[in-house]
Chain A
């Protein structure tokens, strides 16, 4: 199993541009999450999904959108990029049930100039 994969690994955007961060998992997990991590800080939840077709906002959703058309994929869309969105973005998934271990992808480092 590849686990949780993310593309791209690095990206530089200009202010006002848009892009989609890709996330996929091959573990048949129902739950998927998007976090951002600013330098030296903890993880902030952007959006999450409890299954295909169901998404909900996390702590910091403004400026982002998500979709979950399949169990495997959970892309994150940035519209009108701003310097405040410069961060490392992590996607994570978990199966559900009593052991709630989250598996993280390697991250996407995004810089908005």
Chain B
């Protein structure tokens, strides 16, 4: 079946530093979504990427979808304490999403 891996599993950064998480799928994806889960909370949708090579920005967050539609990345510029949480990518196959393993981001003030 489809597998979606993320690296790194954990990332600790000083406040103000940049952060990147990478997502790799074993199969070509029709689209990829990103979710954020705050500690103790539930996943919240951030964005969806559909086109090969697509890049989207949301303020300090930049999302990329690879040319082969098998990988994606999320980059946060100048992290803030509000960025704390676990970031999941999720690849769509038919009716189901396959979630990545997640990257837990902690911020050192």
Q: A: which residues have CB within 8 A of B?
A: 31, 33, 35, 40-45, 48, 50, 56, 58-59, 90, 92, 98-107
Q: How far is the CA of A24 from the CA of B107 in the complex (A)?
A: 35
Q: Are B33 and A90 within 8 A (Cβ)?
A: no
Q: Which residue of B lies closest to A99 (CB)?
A: B48
Q: B: which residues have CB within 8 A of A?
A: 1, 31, 33, 35, 41-45, 48, 50, 88, 92, 95-102, 104
Contacts of B95 in A (CB 8 A): 31, 48, 50, 56
Contacts of A45 in B (CB 8 A): 96-98
B23 nearest CB across to chain A (Å): 11
Q: Are A100 and B92 within 8 A (Cβ)?
A: yes
Q: Which residue of A lies closest to B10 (CB)?
A: A40
A39 nearest CB across to chain B (Å): 12
